[in-house]
């Protein structure tokens, strides 16, 4: 590429998140990549083929990276498919997502299943997309091949997730999986709920949210995180604890990290915004596993993000067919456990962050830079030379009321219905081009090779 060639696009932003802070900037783009980031100067744009200037009420952010999304296709495209999920992502400022291996048919536990995922996604994605593989004792021999085929890493469960082709692993099985992944240094994402502790807890049944909360007490997470930390300590493998909700897990994670154990952790918008105290009985749209806990726990999660104990905020977008939520009966014992929030993740988190004096630069770290590192995507997650020109324009002080029927999610079921949120995404660029709902241009990513597969 000729460095003297004029840029295809210059974005002039009076407010931009660059280098961990917010400042005016001129972002020059050529061939889909950022080639320069300099001071805000209209002269920078004179030779550009196109110029975009953000408004005084707008902030330019790096496109968000969401590494915890259940797309469900193939097999359950009526729950969520690649077209609808990636439209929702782009509308929410997310330019890259990584699909979870469970809740599709088949689960992504071998190369053939990964190819089925790619076939379903090819030509239908509006943002870039990568894939996690599933790990259990029965597919240890498949993990290296899946890694070579381009999954970003692997996901496993410590308790039954209701997926016959992705069964849970025991503590000893977790060590075996981690030993195998250590050979090629792939991360293992762990759904940290203990099967033993769940068996000791009362079963969820009926409309009372308090009963659902008692069925998955904090001890369920705490025991599981202790198991993950010990396995990571023993094997030297990279472990990542997904969707942390229980504050009692935080000292375990913090102590492990101080000891040099390779463990990271994430939380989700619903744990940072919602509280058990506000959930009405029978409101199964709030059901998720682990559950939304009390307000004191929510504040502990915010403190853990500030301290670095938790490093990522991800959506854990986990939709289902509307009937599986059993909103007609309001029975938490039978309702699907998952929250739909992909399009709303940024405004939900920002609405809460601004109340606590947290700047947008920290959100960009938690929702873009660190997720990109977890997923092995070195060209994503920042506004900097050499990175993909994935950008999001946010009006942080504009508000809107969530109307489920206006969301791009396949199923209009969300606990945020009727909630007033701050932060409207006004524009999303993918590799320097506006995302066009009529023209899917997302790529299928293969992080291990750092090489994207172009989609037609």
Query: Residues 335-390: pLDDT tens digits?
Result: 999 999 999 999 999 999 999 999 999 999 999 999 999 999 999 999 999 999 99
Burial 139-167 (b: 16+ CB within 10 A, else e): beebbeebbebbbbbbbbbbbebebebbb
- Tell me if the bond preceding 290 is cis, omega within 30° of 0: yes
Instruction: Render pLDDT for 201-216 as a digit per residue (tens, 0 to 9).
Output: 999 999 999 999 999 9
What CATH architecture does domain 65-375+408-414 belong to?
Answer: Alpha-Beta Barrel (3.20)
Place of tokens 């009727």: 418
From first to last of the 456 residues of the chain, give the pLDDT tens digit.
345 789 999 999 999 999 999 999 999 999 999 999 999 988 888 889 999 999 999 999 999 999 999 999 999 999 999 999 999 999 999 999 999 999 999 999 999 999 999 999 999 999 999 999 999 999 999 999 999 999 999 999 999 998 899 999 999 999 999 999 999 999 999 999 999 999 999 999 999 999 999 999 999 999 999 999 999 999 999 999 999 999 999 999 999 999 999 999 999 999 999 999 999 999 999 999 999 999 999 999 999 999 999 999 999 999 999 899 999 999 999 999 999 999 999 999 999 999 999 999 999 999 999 999 999 999 999 999 999 999 999 999 999 999 999 999 999 899 999 999 999 999 999 999 999 988 999 999 986 433 334 332
Order of strands, edge to edge, in the sheet holding 312-313? 133-134, 154-157, 188-191, 239-241, 263-267, 312-313
Measured CA to CA, the distance from residue 408 to residue 127 in angstroms comes to 14
Q: Tell whether pTM > 0.85.
A: yes
List the alpha helices (DSSP H) in 259-410.
269-273, 295-307, 345-355, 360-364, 370-374
């Amino acid at each position: 590429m000729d460095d003297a060639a004029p840029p295809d696009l210059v974005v002039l932003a009076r407010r931009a998140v660059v280098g961990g802070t917010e400042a005016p900037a001129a972002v020059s783009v050529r061939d889909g990549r950022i080639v320069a980031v300099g001071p805000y100067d209209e002269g920078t744009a004179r030779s550009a083929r196109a110029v975009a200037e953000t408004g005084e009420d707008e902030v330019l952010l790096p496109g968000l990276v969401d590494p915890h999304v259940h797309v469900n296709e193939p097999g359950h495209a009526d729950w969520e498919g690649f077209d609808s999920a990636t439209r929702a992502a782009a509308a929410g400022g997310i330019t890259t997502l990584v699909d979870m291996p469970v809740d599709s048919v088949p689960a992504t536990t071998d190369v053939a299943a990964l190819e089925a995922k790619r076939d379903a996604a090819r030509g239908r994605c509006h943002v870039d997309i990568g894939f996690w593989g599933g790990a259990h004792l029965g597919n240890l021999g498949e993990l290296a091949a899946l890694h070579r085929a381009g999954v970003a890493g692997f996901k496993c469960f410590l308790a039954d997730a209701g997926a016959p082709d992705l069964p849970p692993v025991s503590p000893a099985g977790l060590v075996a999986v981690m030993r195998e992944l250590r050979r090629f240094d792939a991360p293992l994402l762990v759904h940290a709920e203990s099967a033993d502790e769940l068996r000791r807890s009362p079963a969820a049944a009926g409309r009372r949210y308090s009963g659902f909360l008692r069925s998955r007490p904090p001890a369920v997470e705490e025991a599981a995180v202790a198991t993950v930390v010990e396995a990571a300590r023993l094997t030297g493998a990279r472990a990542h604890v997904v969707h942390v909700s229980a504050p009692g897990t935080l000292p375990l994670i913090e102590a492990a990290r101080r000891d040099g154990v390779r463990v990271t952790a994430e939380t989700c918008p619903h744990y940072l915004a919602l509280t058990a105290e506000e959930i009405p009985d029978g409101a199964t749209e709030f059901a998720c596993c682990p559950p939304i806990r009390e307000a004191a726990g929510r504040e502990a999660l915010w403190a853990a993000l500030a301290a670095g104990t938790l490093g990522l905020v991800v959506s854990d977008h986990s939709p289902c067919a509307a009937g599986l939520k059993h909103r007609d009966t309001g029975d938490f014992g039978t309702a699907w456990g998952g929250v739909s929030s992909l399009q709303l993740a940024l405004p939900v988190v920002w609405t809460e962050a601004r109340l606590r004096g947290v700047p947008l630069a920290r959100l960009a770290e938690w929702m873009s830079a660190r997720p990109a590192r977890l997923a092995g995507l070195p060209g994503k997650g920042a506004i900097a030379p050499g990175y993909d020109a994935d950008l999001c324009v946010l009006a942080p002080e504009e508000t809107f009321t969530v109307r489920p029927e206006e969301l791009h999610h396949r199923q209009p079921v969300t606990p945020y219905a009727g909630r007033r949120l701050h932060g409207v995404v006004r524009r999303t660029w993918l590799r320097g081009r506006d995302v066009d709902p009529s023209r899917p241009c997302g790529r299928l990513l293969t992080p291990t090779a750092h090489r994207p597969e172009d989609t037609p």
